[in-house]
């Protein structure tokens, strides 16, 4: 059973009972310092409770633009609140999980079930049955990193030792378009914060180490409308 399916079943059970999951976390302040407290994730939203009252927050799911899971121990909640000092840029809240807890798949499934917008997940899906995969180099602005691009029924996953570039995209939620200009090139356009604006999409360009399977690419073209 896919870990996401298992997590979804657990999430449905948890939310049906009307209570949330609590993590001990540190709210990492920018540019330094932080405060510790509890983060409660439930069907109602996400609440951060700390002794520093001015840092307490309670977000309904419609108050959150996205959640960016860097790892099971670090993640960001991007809100719609303005940062006046940064000329109105949307305010992110960075959290580090403490005391042996983590933002595991079961807890993250609660977010996936309730958040109406796309997420950013840098912890790749592993258990899903893979229908096609290809070794690649992900091209950065300068240089790149190597790994494997895997296509499952529900996810497209990029697995790499370069952890900050690893991704797991839901095909029906995060992926906007897929296209190729030749047999050794593939681009995936996704909803992801590019700089400070989450409403912009981001392109991930891959050099393929093997020729792209033409029949599978035709299938992808049918599924996704390319966006330039």
Please report the DSSP string for the chain in residue order. Answer: --HHHHHHHHHHHHHHTT--EEEEEEEE-SSS-EEEEEEEEETTEEEEEESSGGG-EEEEGGGEEEEEEEETTEEEEEEEEEEGGGTTEEEEEEEEE-TT----HHHHHHHHHH--S--EE-S---SSPEEEEEEEEEE-SSSEEEEEEEEESSEEEEEESSGGG-EEEETTTTEEEEE-SSTTEEEEEEE--BTTBTTSEEEEEEEESS---HHHHHHHHHHS----
User: Going residue by residue through the chain (228 aa), what tens digit of pLDDT does each one get?
Assistant: 555 455 544 444 444 444 579 999 999 987 788 999 999 999 999 999 999 999 999 999 999 999 999 999 999 999 999 877 767 688 899 999 998 789 998 899 999 999 999 999 999 876 678 999 999 999 999 999 999 999 999 999 999 999 999 999 999 999 999 999 999 999 999 998 765 556 678 999 999 999 999 999 999 999 986 555
Q: Which residues, in sequence order, are CB contacts of 182 under 8 Å at separation 6+? A: none
The pTM (predicted TM-score) of the whole model is 0.81
Q: For the chain, which domains are there?
A: 3-117 (2.30.29.30), 130-223 (2.30.29.30)
């Amino acid at each position: 059973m896919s870990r996401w399916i298992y997590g979804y079943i657990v999430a449905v059970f948890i939310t049906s009972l009307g209570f949330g999951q609590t993590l001990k976390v540190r709210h990492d302040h920018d540019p330094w310092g932080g405060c510790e407290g509890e983060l409660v994730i439930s069907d109602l939203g996400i609440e951060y409770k700390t002794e520093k009252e001015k840092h307490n927050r309670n977000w309904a799911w419609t108050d959150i633009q996205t959640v960016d899971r860097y790892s099971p121990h670090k993640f960001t909640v991007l809100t719609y609140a303005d940062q006046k000092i940064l000329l109105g840029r949307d305010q992110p809240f960075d959290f580090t999980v403490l005391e042996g807890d983590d933002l595991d798949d079961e807890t993250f499934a609660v977010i996936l079930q309730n958040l109406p917008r796309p997420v950013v997940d840098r912890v790749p899906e592993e258990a899903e049955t893979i229908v096609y995969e290809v070794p690649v180099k992900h091209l950065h602005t300068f240089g790149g990193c190597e790994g494997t691009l895997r296509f499952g029924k529900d996810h497209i996953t990029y697995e790499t030792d370069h952890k900050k570039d690893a991704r797991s995209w839901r095909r029906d939620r995060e992926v906007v378009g897929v296209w190729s200009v030749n047999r050794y090139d593939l681009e995936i356009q996704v909803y992801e914060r590019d700089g400070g604006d989450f409403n912009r999409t981001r392109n991930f360009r891959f050099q393929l180490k093997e020729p792209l399977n033409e029949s599978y690419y035709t299938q992808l073209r049918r599924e996704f409308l390319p966006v330039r």
